[in-house]
Chain A
Amino acid sequence: EVQLLESGGGLVQPGGSLRVSCAASGFTFSNYAMSWVRQAPGKGLEWVSGISGSGGSTYHADSVKGRFTISRDNSKNTLYLQMNSLRAEDTAVFYCAKDVYSDYPHYFDHWGQGTLVTVSS
């Protein structure tokens, strides 16, 4: 059974940094691209960042480019999102999502339960 467990969310001040993680199990992690998708309070879904199965290619939405970095450790079956220069508008539930292919983000067949990131002073 595929399981994705996010962790690392919390309260951070504007301008601060936070790293969220996603521990994956139940599938061959390195064979699949992974993404982070967020949902701000009362808002819709927004794709944030994606990474190929090998980790060699990464993709970021313009709204986070230069501030967020996606990475993965295939030896630990773990996905990461390093978030710097956080803004109030980054407040959201961040979901880890498994892709169906290995190369670049397509659609997502499994999702974690999400971790809440709150940016506030």
Chain B
Amino acid sequence: DIVMTQSPDSLAVSLGERATINCKSSQSVLYSSNNKNYLAWYQKKSGQPPKLLIYWASTRESGVPDRFSGSGSGTDFTLTISSLQAEDVAVYYCQHYYRTPQTFGQGTKVEIK
């Protein structure tokens, strides 16, 4: 199985400041035939289901604010929140879908400093 490891486990950022979350896969999730990275990011708020933010490593889901962006390729990926808002307090998960089983990172908790 591909293991997804996120860092840090938690971070506290001031309102309006940048938050950066890293995700590393134990194997490359870049599919050479189509040059796509099989990597998604989700936001999960307490008591709510997960919400898709980013897919194909850098494509923003419709309706997601443009302060959320994804980058990276191969085994190393980053989710950036360019200007943290109060409503962004949540746990963020990366997930690969390169093959079954699709696995998630352990999650990164984002709080307000």
Interface residues of B in 62-103 (CB under 8 A from A): 91, 93, 95, 97, 100-103
* Beta-carbon contact of A105 and B100 below 8 Å: yes
What secondary structure prevails in chain B residues at the interface with A?
loop
* Beta-carbon contact of B50 and A59 below 8 Å: no
Q: How many residues of B contact A (CB 8 A)?
A: 24
Given A95-B50, A113-B49: A44 touches B93 (CB 8 Å cut-off): yes
A45 and B97 CA atoms in complex are apart in Å by 14
* Beta-carbon contact of A107 and B40 below 8 Å: yes
* Beta-carbon contact of B52 and A109 below 8 Å: yes
A95 and B51 CA atoms in complex are apart in Å by 12
Given A44-B107, A109-B61: A59 touches B100 (CB 8 Å cut-off): yes
Q: How many residues of A contact B (CB 8 A)?
A: 23
Contacts of B107 in A (CB 8 A): 44-45
* Beta-carbon contact of A105 and B97 below 8 Å: yes
* Nearest-Cβ distance from residue B48 to partner chain A, whole angstroms: 8
Contacts of A37 in B (CB 8 A): 50
* Nearest-Cβ distance from residue B28 to partner chain A, whole angstroms: 17
- The 8 Å CB contact of B101, one of A61, A111, A113, is A61
- Interface core residue of A44, A109, A113 (most chain B CB under 10 Å): A44
- The 8 Å CB contact of B106, one of A44, A61, A95, is A44
* Nearest-Cβ distance from residue A74 to partner chain B, whole angstroms: 21
In the complex, A53 has a CB within 8 A of chain B: no
A35 and B49 CA atoms in complex are apart in Å by 14
- In addition to A44-B105, A47-B102, A108-B52, 8 A-B residue pairs with Cβ atoms within 8 Å of each other are A46-B104, A59-B100, A104-B100, A106-B102, A107-B52, A107-B55, A107-B97, A111-B49
Residues of B within 8 A of A (CB): 1, 38, 40, 42, 44, 48-52, 55, 61, 91, 93, 95, 97, 100-107
